[in-house]
Structure 1
């Protein structure tokens, strides 16, 4: 990996991941497991659920849901 590639900050939802892990004390993989285990499937429902049940802020919840659903769609 080149030095400039290593210095390139993450873009999109992943930009929030370091602050999510720091603020809420759980790794991203654990949040993704919770999202995938939820009976909810719609983006907005999952965001609201993370906010109300787990105390996440809107931006952090939105980033986690967007990234997780995109990964799942790519894997199907």
Structure 2
């Protein structure tokens, strides 16, 4: 396990402490969860970009249009 020291503005540190307290977890656990979320989002983006380079733009845009239509009709 690694140890990481970070510098944050005081107000941001206080808000993170309040968030951790609200969730009833430690600051360490909160930062671990936020880091995991960031890494997961990064991995998803990399996979999406890799697949996009192999894909067909016309089909991809058609799927996005379909999602937009489906989303608008579900409101």
TM over 0.5, shorter chain: no
What TM-score range do you get, normalising by the shorter chain? 0.3 to 0.5
Q: TM-score, normalised by structure 2?
A: 0.34
Give TM-score scaled by structure 1 length.
Answer: 0.34
Max Rg structure: 2
